[in-house]
Amino acid sequence: MHAMLLNKIGAALEWTELADPQPGAGEIRVKVSACGVCRTDLHVVDGELPDPKLPIIPGHEIVGRIDMIGSGVAGLRVGERVGIPWLGHTCGICPYCLGQQENLCNRPLFTGYTRDGGFATAAIVDARYAFPLGEAGDDVALAPLLCAGLIGWRSLVIAGACKKLGLYGFGAAAHIVAQVAQWQGRSVFAFTRKGDSTSQDFARRLGATWAGGSEEMPPEPLDAAIIFAPVGDLVPLALRAVCKGGRVVCAGIHMSDIPSFPYRLLWEERQLVSVANLTRQDGVDFLRLAPEIGIVTQTTHYPLKQANHALADLRLGRFEGAAVLVP
């Protein structure tokens, strides 16, 4: 197999030939047909997430077909198309796993961070964390749903029954969540970097009620806001934008430091909460609904060997929607 391998934090990924991996008990091998490029991959490469497994194959928005099954795996078959998310393994015995909060497992493994991911031609996967995808839809179009879509979905659920929803950072996750929110009958207000007219136009094309810079106040108070951009400075801005009793959801796995802000921004029962990872039930719920919603992902394709180019373009915001690697 071939892979783009991270050998050292902050270094470029290296095109590497590796021995074909063999699935162990409870595992499957997936021939990768598409893998999305997520901002979390940047956090891994840049060392913003602690203690990655090195060397590591990044990538956790995997779509592919099973080509080998290890012992003890039931309910999956060779040739079946599956999707592989960020959460790649849980212990099943800690209080969080037993309490239906496996996203908070004490001993998890994460795809592309603490176990090898999908910037490769093949991946070994815990069979419990492989979602059957059926045959409808294009592999490349489906890939962003496996993290941008799933984390966006969990964030939207945690945002609650809001009618006016703000989205801070209009990238891969927000462009999916905007479609889900509007399907649910919500109004979407998109916040981007100051002067980013391209992203603001993109949000309007997707039906956003309003789009503007993150430092701007929306034309009316919001019921809730989701922050996708990893920028702590956005927290007080979002708190300022939501109404009394409003909720601000921090959706990223990493964020720069949140600056101090006056208590009055939090007062009147505003809430500030975070989202961590996902559960398998999140995946089941979202992937079942996605075809009904009719989500259309905006993707830019890159050959697997151009993973470094894709990461650089993501860092600088050179594309709309999501980047996807195709082996």
- In whole angstroms, give the CA distance from residue 57 to residue 272: 33
Over residues 139-167, the pLDDT tens digits come to: 999 999 999 999 999 999 999 999 999 99
Over residues 163-190, the pLDDT tens digits come to: 999 999 999 999 999 999 999 999 999 9
Task: Decide if domain 149-274 falls under CATH 3.40.50.720.
Answer: yes
Q: What residues does 301 pair with on adjacent strands?
A: 324
Task: Decide if domain 2-135+297-326 falls under CATH 3.90.180.10.
Answer: yes
Over residues 201-232, the pLDDT tens digits come to: 999 999 999 999 999 999 999 999 999 999 99
Overall average pLDDT of the 284-313 stretch: 96
Residue range(s) in the chain whose domain bears CATH number 3.40.50.720: 149-274
Q: What is the pTM of this model?
A: 0.94
Over residues 36-63, the pLDDT tens digits come to: 999 999 999 999 999 999 999 999 999 9
- In whole angstroms, give the CA distance from residue 122 to residue 308: 19
Overall average pLDDT of the 8-31 stretch: 97
What is the percent of the chain where pLDDT is above 90? 99
Residue range(s) in the chain whose domain bears CATH number 3.90.180.10: 2-135+297-326
Q: How confident is the model at residue 320 (pLDDT cuts 50, 70, 90)?
A: very high
b (16+ CB within 10 A) / e for 81-116: bbbbbbbbbbeeebebbeeeebbebeebbbbbbbbb
The pLDDT of residue 236 is 98
The pLDDT of residue 75 is 94
